[in-house]
Structure 1
Amino acid sequence: MGVQESRLRVEDRQAADPDGKWCVGDLTPKTEAAKQCPGFGIDAESPVEVPQKAMSARVFVHSLASGSFRDEFVVQFNNVADVGFWQGVRSRCDFDRLYEDLGSEHGGTMIQPLPNRKADYFRMQPLVWSVYMHESGTFLENWLNAVIQAGFGRTGSFKRFLSNQPIRQPVSIHGWDSVSHMIFALPMMDDVVDFLEEPLDIVRLCELSSNTIFQNGKLFCAKQWERMYAERWPAFHEAQCHMSEVTRMETDWKSMYRHTCSGHYEALLEVYDREKKLGFAMSCMLAKVTWDANTNCFIAGYVSASQVLPERIPYHEGYRLRFCRPSVRDELKPELMPPQVSEVYGYRATWTTARESHVILLNRLEEYLVWVQKHLLFKKRFCMTCPSSKWARAWSCNGRCSRAAHSAGGLALLSQFCGTSTARKR
């Protein structure tokens, strides 16, 4: 009776639990599991075929790509070209070179083309650049796997792709591995840098805070230096921008800011209301303008035939300065500007250039002597025709002018010097 009751209890329990999850299973091990192991029932000396791992490639974005705007990727290969594991850093140019080599060796129709590069990638914001790099890494990974599955993993071009650079140490595959990378990848970094208006704040943030920020923040700092320069000296900024366009040379605005503050930068500008005189109220005069940081003023040296003292223009009157109007800037010829001191007295000045300048000076002296002779002849005729003039009263009976005696003596000395110099030159 006891045995029958136990059987009924087991049947009721199985009926109560139709899914069987509470049922007690057989405690003895199954013999079918051992038969499924590789090499079961085969002699130990017979070779056993172990399934090998499939060939694959993985592409990650380099950790410094987000902050430095470099299109570099970390590439990993498993069981490719008789190598169990390989890892290295490759740029987008290396992928393009691999595609060209495979196309020249095996035909371009057999290989899937690479994803197109965006032409304006250098104008992207840091966050957009990071997203673009991650998408490019995914496309390149699929392209490499397609190339490996097509059987090009053992070709010479693929091996050259692997041996292009030495295998580096494993690098971090995450683009947000440091706080500096995360800060520079965020779009608010532009607002943080634009908020700074003093050179000391820019230096403390971009150069003294961290070495990583100093290396990766040069793009932001250069724009900020130009913006501060344009806000402080608008006329100087327009003049330097025009000079950069003409000479096709990039301007280092940080150095320009330092040179302008020290007073070493000079620009040819136009000044309204010269010296605030009534005679210049409706005019705009040409002047060589520099900046004086001690007095916080512009120093304007006017281009005049007579000696004129420079004018000090306060900073709050900077609106009186302007560069050449845009409508006539095309007529400017910077190549006709006078040479700098380094060009005249630099190490390139040789005896030949000094001799040529001496010959030019002699030619100018001869032209000046001809002009002086004509000028004196005109004065003599004027005195003879007009006896009531003051020049006629100064003219002596022998036909020589007492006021022109010094000029005549200087003329004789110049003629003697020119004659001897011309003889030496010949």
Structure 2
Amino acid sequence: MRYGGLAALILACIGLLTVAAVNIVRIERQMQISATENMTWIFGQTQIEALNLAAALSSDADPAEVQLRFDLLVSRLNLLRDGPQWRFLSEAGLAEGLMGWRDGLLALDPAEGGDRAALAAHVAALSTALRGKASRVMSREWQIQSERLDSLGRLHLLALATVLGALISGTVLAALLIDRERRLIRSTMDQLRAKQLERDLDQERRTSEGYRRFSDLIAHQVRTPLAVIDSAMHRLTRPGNPPSPEIIRAKAEVSREAVARLVRLTDTALLMARVDRGAVEPDLACHDLDRIAAAAIEDLHESARALKTGRVILGSGNRPVTAICDPVLTGEILANLLRNAFLYSPPGSDIDVRPMQDGELAVCDISDRGPGMTPEELAVAFEDFARGARHRDLPGSGLGLPLARHLARLQDGDVTLAPRAGGGLVARLILPGAVTT
């Protein structure tokens, strides 16, 4: 039903154009000259030959000339009888008597000794008869031509009407198709807008959920270092005996660690916000990945007391590892991965850092000996604020791994996690490598 109207219009256009084509063919056929027509010329030629024979007979012309004129007249009469014009003459009622004149003419053939005077009289009578029939033939031809013109006029009008009908139907069809196309475009645009609104709404929901989780996380993560600082300051300012230098140093160190934790949390959140809005542009060049890893380890030694709980073992291959990267962003990635390894490793365990060349890639594996992650935790490890149920009481923002992956992908690399053989977790940084010889 939806396309029935369009199909009917298309069929109507095809039908009208077919009728127009048939009528045009009929017009073309009627305009052709028929071999049975133009009878005036034929009768005129026959009458001329009769007059020529009469003139030859009246002037005592040479018998050969008379015989020639006689044969030409007979041939014209035979043409009328044997040619396609005979049908025209029969239908017009003009054939009657012509063959009698021919038979009488043949009976007076000069070659067979026919009477010359009788032949002259017969030819004179034949000329008179031909003049009369020629007038009737001309009248009949005009009548036929008039009927033909009337028929052609009707056919022209019919062809014109069918073409106009096809044009009108085509115009209506085009208008309907354009209208339906516009409706389809509007429907498609509405669907696209609806999908875009749905995506925007989902994004707003995710953003709102992210803000809520971030605010809960900040409230939890900020409260702890603030509580530590407040406790240290309260102990140092408590009335009574002044604290000893050892207590002052211990409280100062605790306060510094709490402040450093707050600074790291703030820096991570700000950098993640810059990455989300596309404000971070990596400065890519060839750099020594071993050196970047060593610098990240040294920075961690200077800023984290957690190093006292274990060792960082920097392994090296049999050739330098050159990566195409931004050293600042790569250092931030390694610092996040190292902090996670220290955070979840048991006291006294070692952490292995090994840069390697893997074909055309430069990789750096950071392996710890902690509890590792379950498959469910690995599946959501790179989502914002994702933290395992077993680690919710440990310090951290839940942004370290997502930030590390974002920064790696800005450099056409990636960060992956995999279980370590023997227990623990292997965090791998993958970057484009520059193969050295």
TM norm structure 2: 0.17
Rg (Cα) greater in structure: 2
Which has the larger helix fraction?
Answer: 2
Which protein has greater RCO, CA pairs closer than 8 Å, 6+ apart? Answer: 2
Q: TM-score, normalised by structure 1?
A: 0.17
